[in-house]
A and B are shown apart, each in its own frame.
Chain A
Amino acid sequence: MDFLNAIILLLNYTIIPALTYGSQLALGAIFVTLIYGVLRFANFATGDMMSFGTMVAVLLTFYFQSLGVNLGVLPTALLTIPFAIIMMILYMLTIDKFVFSYYRIKKSPPVQLAMVSVGVMFVTQAIIRIIIGPFDRRFLDGEKFILKANEFKEMSGLNEGLTIKSTQAITIVVTIIVVSIMFWFLNKTKTGTSMRAYSNNEDLALLSGIDPKKVVMLTWVIAGVLATVGGVLYGLDKSYKPFVYFNNMLPIFAAAIVGGIGNPFGAFLGGYVVAFGEIFITYAYKKFFTYILPESLEPESLMQLLSTDYKFAVSFSILVIVLLFRPSGIFKGMKL
């Protein structure tokens, strides 16, 4: 019984939150990695692009709520995602046309493109703050919990409760759907293959008649889907605040690099590596050990490797370690 309690405890406080957070990071990381692989630069506007998509979703959610449209138990935001994705893609394509394409045609070094993306980052930040303001906004409606701690306790007769928030379930399900469609597209369709070919060797791809404009546009389309979905899921689960999204860029980059930048499957796994690392290292295991150890051995301290203040620092340390020992990522060469 104690053993079961311990497992439920871990499930409730570490595994499920880590899975959720990892999915959100994974979507962002695939976005970074795609841009890096196909367009060949580190996009410092990642966080703000996700923020832009989420902002559209938030505004539309408020609009739909005022109209009285909703999805019942599901959050209204799910309904707004398609519209937000369209807006996001339009925004990205506009920026690409006016900003990035010039440098791509000139074949500027990646560093210059990265600096240009810093400019895009500032502009996007300004647009977001001017439209919606810098404040914290919650836009989750519908049923909040799938399983409440008390219900679970009654059902199972255990001491520990298990809570599953609806946003957690939605995040995981939506991520699985989006990511599987994306991998199917990249690996099984002709267009996806041409994209991968372009990413692997641009000159050869051009020689074999792949239209670079089409590839670039497709990349932004996929990126737009990933950015918006990832952003909205994060916003539903926590809340929508522009500065937080901006900061989230760092764990997302960490995930992308841990998985080996340019490799979408690696980025997907990298998201989970970062999330699990962050949560496992900063979780206080005291209660866990009181369940599994005999009473005489019960720990006095919190049994916490690092205090939660260092949550962000953990993911960065993971990244720094990976960069130093395997700069090409820990999932090098792994493909779906």
Chain B
Amino acid sequence: MKQYLNVVTAYTIMIILIILVGIFQSWSVALSILNYCLISAVMTMGANIQWGYAGLINFGIMGYTALGGLAVVLVSVAPVPQAWKVGGVNMMVCIAIIVGIVFSIRYTLKKIQKSKKRNYVIAGIIIIGFILLRLISGPAIESIEAVEPAKTGFLGGLGMPVLFSWIVGAFFAGGLAYVIGKIALGLRADYLAIATLLIAEIIVSIIKHEDWLARGVKNVIGLKRPVPYEVDLQATPWFINLVEKFNSGKLKLINSVSERQDVLNQLVIDASSVYVKLCMAGLFLTVVIILLIITQKALYSPWGRKMRAIRDNEEAAGAMGKNVVKEHLLIFILGSAVVGIAGAMMVTNDGLFTPGSYRPMRYTFVIWVMVIVGGTGNNFGAILGGFAVWFLWVEAAPIALFLINFFTAHLPETNALKIHLIESAPYFRFLMIGIGLLIIMRYRPQGILPEKIVKQ
């Protein structure tokens, strides 16, 4: 128990902080923070698998997150038959062409010796394939996007339950990671970081601009939910009774019947949003716990020891007969798949898919701060980092506002400096995150909860 003391303390502090938000702001806010904390925790675990276990830098996190979100749209939204009718066949042909291009390139790579001729053949295949794609997809995309552009204008999804999409999201992200890993994992650490960041930008820009796929920047709203809707809850008798029971003391004080009904209605509306968020939190917590159990088991298994050996000394591990390239690829895929799940969870939580809000430059670094602050190579640390940094990210502005008011209390309300500072309060979050990262990097480079190596 003693060795887990710091873990327990750190988590208790975190939970107390969230409860404090609940008391001082509102329970709804506290629960949304908790939900996002849980999502960030999943993302951080994914990044931690890559960086902490294997020492791979993956700055492409937003790309996988966006793919996970895309999976939600493609799985859960009802299909648009009209769009399939006008352009479905062409799009299917396009997919076939892409597969054809990939296979013919692989074939040439295998059959023809490394030479100038091979390069020309490959270039030729790509150019011809590209022209074919443009010719076939062009009119199809136009007609798909013309189908009720205000409401649909895309192919739609499969109409399946949304929870299923979390798994699909993992597969999407893992598949992408396979491709990226195949081509980019040989790069040096900092090159890999930049390459993955740029690939994420490319993916996000494709999702943003290919409207036929998921409406692009026009967003998909009203996605399915694995939990009940607030409106339905407010009309269910058992829920109203439950709220009434909970607040019976408060309601008894009110004498007039109509007034009591009004208060009750308000309470039901508040409670329904809290209830929905609680359900979400329960689902997310399940995912986090399952992942935590799996990753802890993996970390302390022979496989985990092998990964650490590869991380700490690639050459030695290679000399001992471990297939470094294969293991790197595997861990790259696994970590990315976890990030994909987080992406799907995030879209499910929001109920909408907004490709415009995926900004690799902005959030990638925040997630990396989470990993480094929490503790690389320690799953508990990764989760804690996700919680702590997201909490700071959200609550930085109120804290900054409080501090500004505190320190400028003696200045009059019209003081230009005070007004300027209050207006720029939201930007203090960058300052806090940055300084936090710098302090941790300097004085505790292992993170808040450092990696523990159990020696059997």
Interface residues of A (CB under 8 A from B): 41-42, 44, 99, 102, 110-112, 114-116, 118-127, 129-130, 133-134, 246-247, 249-250, 253-254, 257, 307, 309-310, 312-313, 316-317, 319-320, 323-324, 327
B293 interface hit (Cβ, 8 Å): no
Q: Does B184 contact A (CB under 8 A)?
A: yes
Determine whether the beta carbon of A130 is less than 8 Å from that of B424.
Answer: yes
Judge if B161 is at the interface, Cβ distance under 8 Å. no
Q: B: which residues have CB within 8 A of A?
A: 57, 183-184, 187-191, 193-195, 197-199, 201-202, 205-206, 208-209, 361, 365, 368-369, 372, 421, 423-424, 427-431, 433-435, 437-438, 441-442, 445
Q: Once the chains are docked, how many angstroms separate the CA of A112 from the CA of B198?
A: 20
Q: Is the CB of A253 within 8 A of B194?
A: yes
How distant is the Cα of A257 from the Cα of B193 in the complex, in angstroms? 12
B200 to chain A, nearest CB (A): 9
A-B contact pairs, 12 of them (CB 8 A): A102-B442, A110-B190, A123-B434, A125-B434, A126-B434, A129-B424, A249-B361, A257-B191, A310-B209, A320-B202, A323-B187, A324-B183
Given A44-B365, A119-B438, verify A324-B184 contact (CB < 8 Å): yes
Minimum Cβ distance to chain B for residue A152 (Å): 34
Contacts across chains A and B counted by CB atoms under 8 Å? 119
A126 touches B427 (CB 8 A): yes
Residues of B near A319 (CB, < 8 A) are 194-195, 198
Chain A residues near B202: list those with CB within 8 A: 313, 316-317, 320
How far is A247 from B206 in the complex, measured between Cα atoms in Å?
17
Candidate in B194, B429, B435 with the most chain A CB atoms within 10 angstroms: B194
Which residues of the partner chain A approach B427 to less than 8 Å between Cβ atoms?
Answer: 125-126, 129-130, 134
Closest chain A residue to B197 by CB distance? Answer: A250
In the complex, given contacts A126-B434, A247-B361, A254-B198, what are 8 additional A-B residue pairs having Cβ atoms less than 8 angstroms apart? Answer: A102-B442, A115-B368, A118-B368, A127-B431, A246-B361, A250-B201, A319-B198, A323-B195
A114 pairs with B431, CB closer than 8 A:
no
CB distance from B66 to the nearest CB of A (A): 14
Q: Are B205 and A313 in touch, CB under 8 angstroms? A: yes
Nearest neighbor of B198 in chain A, beta-carbon distance: A316
**Chain B nearest CB, measured from A256 CB (Å):** 9
Is B424 a contact partner of A119 (Cβ separation < 8 A)? Answer: no
Q: A130-B428, A257-B191, A317-B202 are in contact. Are A115 and B361 (CB under 8 A)?
A: no
Given known A-B contacts A116-B441, A312-B205, A257 and B365 have beta carbons under 8 A apart: no
Q: How far is the CA of A41 from the CA of B441 in the complex (A)?
A: 15
Bound state CA distance, A250 and B361, in angstroms?
9
